[in-house]
Structure 1
Amino acid sequence: MILRVAQGATVVFAAATLAFVLLQLAPGDPATALGEGISPELRATIRTQYGLDDSIAVQYGRWLSSLLRGDLGWSRDQHRPVAAVLSDALPRTLFLMGCALSVSLVGGMLVGAWQGARAGSRRDRATSTALLVLYSLPEFWLALVLVVLFAHYLRWLPATGITGDMYDYMNTREQLLDRLRHLVLPLASLSLVGVAVFARYQRNAMQDSMAQAFVRTARAKGLTESAVRREAWRSALLPVITMTGVMLPALITGAVFVERVFSWPGMGFAMIRAIEARDYPVVSAGVILGSALTACGAALADIAREIADPRLRSP
């Protein structure tokens, strides 16, 4: 456990340092992001005020010192602490990612197990082709297609936001339905590709499990086919559990673009706004948070694998 924590902390620190250096080397700064109507004197004053004219080493030392004290800095674009920006945006992103991961995991496991038990059949080949096409689609492109189809042409679902304009005037049931309607398209954009990913891994693992000797033994003992498939499915869970931790970075990356498309007020939306405004403290804090979530996801996946298969536990 101590080793996992040390490894996670190293990953987060390395990602945060790399993000800081790359942001400093990127063209432009908060002073240039103000536009063309700002005088050179005012730009110079802003750079001096925020210490932007110091060397990268000095800025890094100042940033690292503040970070070790738990101070994430001040958002120059939103004029409030970065911690306040994250506390507003993070719960919305975690909710969206949690729903997407749950739908992807359950849907992918069901589809993949169904395919693995029928490997080589026409239905399996047709489903594999459809999943491969879905797996190849970028989340932001899929999001745009869903907006055009279901929000523009069919007008079944809202295209942007987390709630409607009349949300405050609705009763509890109407508010719940309004939130669900706004959730459908962002959730579908993130989870459909995830279903394809989990299904491919579950199918291959299920196919390998069905070819094991214990399956033949179970059939020889007279177990029903459904019971045999259930035992094979339990044996095929390890690759899917591992994939759950790997999917977190993909979900974080996908959420950045999906939240932008649907104006979902989460971390992705805040990060893109901060990049456009050269609000580097928010960008750095977002990278740190994303790295921490990724490290935690990998650690939880390792723990889940050890619970599922005690043979993997360290002596």
Structure 2
Amino acid sequence: MRAAQGVAVVFAAATLAFVLLQLAPGDPATALGEGISPELRAIIRAQYGLDDSLATQYGRWLWSLVRGDLGWSRDQHRPVAAVLSDALPRSLFLMGCALSVSLVGGMLIGAWQGARAGSRRDRITSTALLVLYSLPEFWLALLLLAVFAYHLRWLPVTGITGEMYDYMGAGEQLLDRLRHLVLPLTSLSLVGISVFARYQRNAMQESMAQSFVRTARAKGLTESAVRRQAWRSALLPVITVTGLMLPALITGAVFVERVFSWPGMGYAMIRAIEARDYPVVSAGVILGSAVTAFGAALADIARDIADPRLRSP
């Protein structure tokens, strides 16, 4: 059932993306600039089948998609599958690191807040996290870039590796990659930490008010042991929000990758939009929808494992 729902979501998102892209002003011939003659523009439109009706183009695109053919990148002059195979691992690595840092950091901060709910330190931390949550990822990325790359010059400006990467030793190569990872990872993780911390704090606060906490204290358990039990009970909302964070991570990664020239899916998508390279954009939407559906299904499975009472009969 979950698999069928995921397929339906991906298909609906792909169809909507195709229709909106076809209705958007401009096409690959327009993206070539003003110096192209009308005759050449007409030849390009005919070559790519852009003169056909929307129904014909949709049928051709859908048939290619069913056969596993994602099309040809008109901007990079190679198969779309090759573009995705180069960009996807880099985005997955960045988003995986960001999700891990956000999850661990948010859970620790939120559990610490929930155990001290209402205190002065909790109010200060909550205010700071609220401000952090309100910041767009691209604005935060530009701020970090300006401070740590341009002014302080502590970290690289853009890219995934330095120019001398191929001439470095193994240890230097690892350090170079880590230095290039710091700013994009921080830009994505800080907002994620604020989200997880908020959910974890509320869940921890509710858990600390339960009767089993009072019973544990009456039995003479230490406060740290009591908080560990309350924390385990407060994991369910965090598990649920983990799957819902994937769409936000994907959206944030698009802008963060563009700011730092991180050669992932977000960077490839923006480049494709600027060049009217619609096959790449469509494939990116399909891939993003599939990752989102997979994340939601994975969160449901993890939630059922964490609390068997939620399993469907």
Tell me the TM-score range normalised by the shorter chain.
over 0.9
Aligned to 1:241: 239
Cα drift, residue 208 of structure 1: 0.3
Return the match for 1:203 from 185, 201, 205. Answer: 201
Matched, 1:29 2:55: no
Q: Counterparts of 1:160 and 1:171 in 2: how far apart (Å)?
A: 21
Q: Counterparts of 1:227 and 1:306 in 2: how far apart (Å)?
A: 25
Cα drift, residue 159 of structure 1: 1.2
Aligned to 1:48: 46
Deviations 1:40-91 (A, max 9, x none): 0000000001000001000000000000000000000000000000000000
Return the match for 1:188 from 183, 186, 189. Answer: 186
Amino acid at match of 2:226: V
Once the two structures are superposed, the pairs formed by residues 140-179 of structure 1 within 5 Å of their partners are 140-179=138-177
Q: Counterparts of 1:76 and 1:53 in 2: how far apart (Å)?
A: 16
Q: Counterparts of 1:214 and 1:9 in 2: how far apart (Å)?
A: 42
Amino acid at match of 1:63: W
Amino acid at match of 2:215: T
Deviations 1:124-158 (A, max 9, x none): 00000000000000000000000000001110000
TM-score when scaled to structure 1? Answer: 0.99
Aligned to 1:212: 210
Q: Which runs of 4+ in 1 moved over 6 A?
A: none
Cα drift, residue 314 of structure 1: 1.0
Aligned to 2:103: 105
SS at match of 1:160: coil
Return the match for 2:72 from 71, 74, 78. Answer: 74
Cα drift, residue 31 of structure 1: 0.4
Q: Counterparts of 1:308 and 1:226 in 2: how far apart (Å)?
A: 22
Aligned to 2:122: 124
Flag structure 1 segments of 5+ consecutive residues without an equivalent. Answer: none
Aligned to 2:272: 274
Once the two structures are superposed, the pairs formed by residues 6-17 of structure 1 within 5 Å of their partners are 6-17=4-15
SS at match of 1:217: helix
SS at match of 2:276: coil
Aligned to 1:139: 137
SS at match of 1:162: coil
Equivalent pairs: percent with the same residue?
88
